[in-house]
Amino acid sequence: MLIGDPVDTLMNLGTFAFIGFLAWVLMRKTPES
Amino acid sequence: MDSNRLLLTCSIGLCAVVGVWGVIDPEGLQAIAREIVDQYFISRGWFVMLSVTIMLLFCLGLTFSRFGDIRLGADDDRPEYSTPTWIAMLFAAGMGVGLLFWAVAEPLTHFAFLKDKTSVPEAADFALLATNFNWGIHAWAIYGTTALAIAYFSFRRGTPMLVSAPIKSLFPGERWASLIGWFSDFMAIAAIAIGVGGSIAMGVFQVADGVSVLAGTQTAAPWLVGLIFIVMVIAYIPPLMVDLSTGMAKLSNIAMSLAIALVAYTVIMGPTEFLMNSVIGGIGMYIADVIPAGFRTFTFYGDEIGRWFQDWTLTYMVWWIAWGPFVGVFVARISKGRTIREFVLGVLIGPTLFSTIWFGAFGGVGIFETLNGKGELLALTQTNVERMTFALLDRLPLATLTTLSTILAAFLFIVTSVVSAAFVLGMFSTGGNQNPSTKIKVIWGGLLGILGAAMILSGSMSAVRTLIALGALPFVFITMLLLVCLIKALILDNPKEA
């Protein structure tokens, strides 16, 4: 089987979500923009 | 309770818990720290390497962009310190005692590990490359990014010098930004306190070994380690009670001058031609491989090499990240008036050049002794890594003098680190107050001492490094957030002229 360790997978999913969050911060309108 | 007081209470509380736990049950603390760090490194090593490489590319990109001309400060501000003093100060803050400690030990430990896996010349080349990488431009890109974000927001947007300032400044009044900001300040305090605690432990081990070498004993007795720890605490408490900003610069300069004298002495008295070849070869290999090495994760090389990569390169990277907020605030403060281009080039190139010379010379002399001597230094990497620097000096003339200088430099690096760390911690835990009260500074000085004691009691360098890595883990994310905030502010504040 090629299924990965669930804890590793979860931690990586968290990291992907964080990368998404960074993109959101970059794109989000601020009061100045 | 207002959020500053809550921050102060929570952060002091967390450090006290870690410190007391480390004193009561050092093995338990180390085992748990090890497990968390291992899990993190195994699952997200790629993200650490990607993050530090992005920070480096970002810093380099800034120097070539239109943002490079922006001054950190008002447009008519000029630098307070001359460039050499500035580089000496940031170097002393950023690397300090570790450099003395690992000078011979790290290249030779890599060499001992690699020589059975490849040919001897390749192992030597790669040992130097790995050491140069761990202490090189990526570390300074981490510091540079953190410092730039804090300096830019503080000097151009008038925010307090806090890790939370960029996110709060961009999204004022938004609840999620305040929450993340609070958590960032809290984690910054924890990372600094645990990092500096580890540094105290490392410095005490180093000084104790130096003293026992002078006394002619085999290992540093526990009472000697304890005594040196007490002397160090007594030495750093009084400076906390007075303002020492210029004195700090002087102490850093003395410590750096001692380090420069030490490397010059080793090159001149040692096998000069061999060492110069080692330095130049090391610089060349480093330049050729610096960017690819930043992406390397050794995933196809099996468990043993994977473990080595985690224990060294990954641990170092999160270690620099842990020091990021502390060094960042310090570097931000001393860099006012420089342009972003000057700042980045100075921060990245000056210290990296020095550390490649340093490790080229000390690593070179260790490898020389292995190839041409009895290989005693190499054997020492397995038995008493703390003693490596002194063992090397013992093989050169005037060993007593150079050993004393090294002890003095280690002592000064530690005292300056603790004093400035207590200052920065006081600042962070009181909402960015530029002049924290003596009481707060002394409380932090005391807590740093307890954390240092906890790490000394944990008994080994690997335990110390695991604990530092543990404190640093959340900061991988926070530093990336700072970088994104900085990009956003640069674009918002400096629109392209039509």
Q: Which alpha helices (H) appear in B65-119, and where do they start and end?
A: 83-94, 97-102, 105-114
3-state secondary structure of A18: helix
3-state secondary structure of B95: coil
User: pTM of the full predicted structure?
Assistant: 0.90
Residue B159 to chain A, least CA–CA distance (Å): 16
CATH class of segment(s) B3-493: mainly alpha
User: Over 90: is that where the pLDDT of B318 sits?
Assistant: no
**How far is residue A6 CA from its own chain's centroid?**
17
Task: Kindly tell me the burial class for residue B66, based on how many C-beta atoms sit within 10 Å of its own C-beta (0-12, 13-18, 19 or more).
Answer: exposed
pLDDT digits (tens, 9 = 90+) for B160-192: 989 999 999 999 988 999 999 998 888 888 888
Contact B492 A33 (CB under 8 A): yes
Contact A15 B170 (CB under 8 A): no
Q: Which residues of B touch A18 (CB under 8 A)?
A: 477, 480
Retrieve residue B357's tokens: 């010379």
Comparing alpha-carbon positions, the chain A residue that sits nearest to B167 is A25
User: Distance between CA atoms of B336 and B81, rounded to whole angstroms?
Assistant: 9
Residue B177 to chain A, least CA–CA distance (Å): 10
A31 — contact with chain B (CB < 8 Å)? yes
Nearest by CB: B44 against A15, A32, A33? A15
pLDDT digits (tens, 9 = 90+) for B73-120: 888 889 888 888 788 777 777 777 788 888 899 999 999 999 989 999
Contact B195, B472 (CB under 8 A): yes
User: Over 80: is that where the pLDDT of B497 sits?
Assistant: no
User: Over 90: is that where the pLDDT of B58 sits?
Assistant: yes
Residue B488 to chain A, least CA–CA distance (Å): 6
Tell me, what's the pLDDT at B165?
A: 92
Contact B480 A31 (CB under 8 A): no
pLDDT digits (tens, 9 = 90+) for B131-158: 999 999 999 999 999 999 999 999 999 9
Tell me, what's the pLDDT at B249?
A: 72
**How far is residue B26 CA from its own chain's centroid?**
23
Contact B365, B271 (CB under 8 A): yes
Higher pLDDT, B401 or B240: B401
Comparing alpha-carbon positions, the chain A residue that sits nearest to B166 is A25
Q: Which residues of B touch A11 (CB under 8 A)?
A: 39-40, 43-44
**What is the C-alpha R_g of chain A?**
15
Which residue from B335, B329, B252, B327 is spatially nearest to B80, judged by alpha carbons? B335
Question: How many CB atoms are located within 10 Å of the residue B258 CB?
Answer: 18
Tell me, what's the pLDDT at B87?
A: 83
Nearest by CB: A30 against B477, B484, B492? B492
B297 — contact with chain A (CB < 8 Å)? no
Q: Residue B243 — pLDDT band, cuts 50, 70, 90?
A: low
pLDDT digits (tens, 9 = 90+) for B248-297: 677 778 888 898 999 999 999 999 999 999 999 999 999 999 999 999 99
CB pairs under 8 A between A and B: 36
Higher pLDDT, B158 or B473: B158
Contact B86, B346 (CB under 8 A): yes
DSSP 8-class letter at A4: P
Higher pLDDT, B287 or B196: B287
A13 — contact with chain B (CB < 8 Å)? no
Contact B466, B459 (CB under 8 A): no
DSSP 8-class letter at B117: T
